[in-house]
Amino acid sequence: MDEQTFDRWNERKKITNFHGSYPHFLPGQIWWAQIGQNIATEVAGKGDDFLRPVVIMQRVYGNACLAIPLTTTEREGDYYFCFKDSKGKPQYALLTQIRYLDGKRLKYQRADIKKEDLENLRNAFCKLIKK
């Protein structure tokens, strides 16, 4: 990671802030979101738009949400929750990376999570924070 990457992310973030729009989104949907370039062990987005898939956990304040970033890289342990998305692809929720995201960061819907899996994901997150 270098200074130019942060500069590129800052320019992309300005465009999103001033010209982005608010999509309609609901809990249980999986979206590509502009997570951005972050520090050290914080999960980051990839590509020119700094995108990463996230599962929407809860809508807040109308146009924002609590979302958990996802990876397709196999992970095990208390910090992860595995499920198959609506396309049948295994996903690993990075529970410790939960984020508050403004809706302008959501770019397009990718898939969904089953209601039962969403409830189990919420329970896994609650169990983690009660440790």
Residue 120 belongs to domain with CATH number = 2.30.30.110
Q: Assess whether pLDDT exceeds 90 at residue 82.
A: yes
Q: Assess whether pLDDT exceeds 80 at residue 19.
A: yes
| Residue 121 belongs to domain spanning | 3-129
What's the pLDDT score for residue 101?
A: 96
Specify whether the CB–CB gap between 76 and 50 falls below 8 A: no
The pLDDT > 70 percentage for the chain reads 99
Mean pLDDT in residue range 17-34: 94
| Domain tally, the chain | 1
What's the pLDDT score for residue 1?
A: 64
- Going through 1-131 in order, the beta strands assigned E by DSSP cover 29-34, 51-60, 64-71, 80-84, 90-94, 99-102, 106-112
What's the pLDDT score for residue 27?
A: 97
What's the pLDDT score for residue 26?
A: 96
